Amino acid sequence: MATISTRLAPSPVLPKPAQQEQGTFSNHAPVQRAGFGKTLGIFYKMLFHKPRNTRPVGAIPVQPLTREQLLAAPDHSVFRLGHSTVLLKMRGKFWLTDPVFAERASPFSWAGPKRFHAPPISLEDLPPLEAVILSHNHYDHLDRKAVIQLADKTRYFLAPLGVGDILVKWGVDASQVRQLDWWQRSEVDGIHFVATPAQHFSGRGLFDSNQTLWCSWVMIDGARRIFFSGDTGYFDGFKRIGEQYGPFDLTLMETGAYNVDWPHVHMQPEQTLQAHIDLKGRWLLPIHNGTFDLAFHAWHEPFDRIMALAWERNVSITTPAMGQAFSLNQPERGVAWWLEVEVQGSEEGLVN
């Protein structure tokens, strides 16, 4: 591997790190993968039998952001930029998860899932970043052009094992890259980052399946604790993470792109809520939704389901619009902005 972070010995109560055999990583628990025939069937359905409601009929509301606004924002402000891209302000500096600014989550510029909305701020206008935090090597989480553009304004890239090697191949200086195994920690400006397990997979093509690791992240800024799920199925690791590092002030939890055909690598909303509870989370912010069409459910269904479940279980949930600030110092639930999108689209359809 091109570069490895400083390895801090995990606590004896923690389980073993990621498993790697013959150059590929695996989950601790067996994960059922779709066979070749089933995979072809899923792609066929994606191409020719997609329900119409997987894309919004109206415009997604986006609150534009400027660099000046971000610089003036208080610490512990959180901004959703789209999908799993979240900008956090801690200790007067900026930290960005899974930056994807591309028009499509695809290896092609002319095909593949297309964005529902523009990012609230451009890559050029982003302020300098202290670190980019990466969860795994999939097109909707690791955007090559974004990484290359961010390299000159980012101090560090924190990545699971193997993903850092990809960054170095793309031209990121090896001194900027810290690669971590599960349960390893790295400190940047007094903030502790722990690469924690997730149940998923990785790869950008036909021949690199699981050659790089996937992970979730724990972020510890003094008394504040934030959890970023990356992509994952539901597994007992959430309880282990919650016992070791919880409670969390905020969990950024995957809630979208789920389906009965891939139950082990993406969570249904009921599982997302349970994972948040396992983590001992205080506020839940659903991510991995509202930007790309990656499944067969209605684009707004993840919001509808997780909101209903949270209200039923008395869980504090926030659903800021893209670009809207959420403050850990003064948390608010936000509004159900997605409902207006469908109303707007229906009204425009009637007018036209």
| pLDDT of 351 | 39
Count of domains forming the chain: 1
Does 69 map to a domain? Answer: yes
| Confidence (pTM) | 0.92
| pLDDT of 34 | 58
Query: What φ, ψ does residue 288 adopt, rounded to 5°?
Result: 65, 40
305-319 pLDDT, tens digit per residue, is 999 999 999 999 999
The H-or-E segment that residue 228 falls in is strand 224-228
DSSP letter at 322?
Answer: B
Does 6 map to a domain? Answer: no
pLDDT band at 344 (very low <50, low <70, confident <90, very high): low
- β-strand 24-26 against 281-287: which pairing, if any? unpaired
Residue 8: pLDDT over 50: no
246-290 pLDDT, tens digit per residue, is 999 999 999 999 999 999 999 999 999 999 999 999 999 999 999
Here the CATH number for the domain that contains residue 284 is: 3.60.15.10
Residue carrying structure tokens 């660099």: 67
Does 149 map to a domain? Answer: yes
**Burial tier of 151 (Cβ tally within 10 Å: 0-12, 13-18, 19+):** middle
Distance, CA of 235 to CA of 32 (rounded, Å): 13
Does 15 map to a domain? Answer: no
| pLDDT of 30 | 75
Does 4 map to a domain? Answer: no
Q: Tell which residue, 293, 304, 298, has the closest CA to residue 337.
A: 304
Helix (H, G, I), strand (E, B) or coil at 349: helix
Residue 68: pLDDT over 90: yes
Higher per-residue confidence, 31 vs 47: 31
Helix (H, G, I), strand (E, B) or coil at 195: strand
pLDDT band at 178 (very low <50, low <70, confident <90, very high): very high
Distance, CA of 288 to CA of 302 (rounded, Å): 9
Interval 64-74 mean pLDDT: 98
Distance, CA of 89 to CA of 101 (rounded, Å): 19
**Token reading at 26:** 């695996």
Q: Tell which residue, 58, 63, 123, has the closest CA to residue 96.
A: 123
Does 8 map to a domain? Answer: no
Distance, CA of 99 to CA of 85 (rounded, Å): 5
Does 36 map to a domain? Answer: no
Distance, CA of 283 to CA of 246 (rounded, Å): 12
Containing domain of residue 182, as a range?
64-351
Check residue 79 and give left, alpha or beta (phi > 0: left; psi -120 to 50: alpha). beta
